[in-house]
Structure formats: structure tokens, C-alpha cells
């Protein structure tokens, strides 16, 4: 059973225009890579919250998320 977009947006309290804009411009590969990197850094920080971006960068690298140290710093800065 499919629910019409108008009903779904009304129930969720969202405007329809952004929904229709989203399929025309889905998530880019760069945005997906950034999200995966941020996720790896977040999980590393959850284990050891007192360490800085250099430690988190090393931890993310051990789980397979390659990135520059500067990228790790920027993601940590942007996400607090």
C-alpha cells in the first residue's frame, strides 16, 4: 500500500516542495563519504570521549575509513 506524498508530508509536518526537490538532486557520493567518515569518528569518540581529532583519525583509519587528518579535524569541529 502506497501513501500519497501529500498525506505523508502533512502527517510529518513537512512541506511538499523540498520532497519533490530531493529526488531530482539525491545525496552525492561526496556527501555519502563525509557521512561515513563522520560516523566512524563518532563511534571512535563514543569509546574514548577525552581524546582529540588525531586519535579519532587513527581509530577511523583502523576501521577502514581513510581520510586526511585535516578532514578528521574539520568533521570533529563541525559536529562538536
Domain boundaries, the chain: 5-79
How far apart (Å, rounded) are the C-alpha atoms in residues 77 and 19?
A: 29
Our CA dihedral for 58, 37, 41, 22, rounded to 10 degrees, sits at 170
Q: What is the pLDDT of residue 59?
A: 79
What is the average per-residue pLDDT within 7-26? 86
pLDDT score of 47 more than 70:
no
Q: pLDDT at residue 31 above 80?
A: yes
| Residue 2 DSSP label | P
pTM over 0.75: no
Task: Please tell me the predicted confidence (pLDDT) of residue 49.
Answer: 64
Residue 34 pLDDT class (50, 70, 90 cuts) = confident
What sign does the CA torsion over 16, 18, 20, 22 have?
negative
Amino acid at each position: 500500500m502506497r501513501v500519497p506524498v501529500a498525506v505523508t508530508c502533512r502527517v510529518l509536518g513537512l512541506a511538499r516542495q523540498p520532497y519533490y526537490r530531493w529526488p531530482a538532486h539525491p545525496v552525492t557520493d561526496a556527501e555519502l563519504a563525509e557521512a561515513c567518515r563522520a560516523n566512524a569518528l563518532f563511534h571512535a569518540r563514543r569509546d574514548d570521549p577525552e581524546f582529540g581529532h588525531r586519535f579519532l583519525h587513527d581509530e577511523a583509519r583502523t576501521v577502514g575509513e581513510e581520510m586526511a587528518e585535516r578532514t578528521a579535524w574539520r568533521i570533529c569541529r563541525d559536529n562538536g
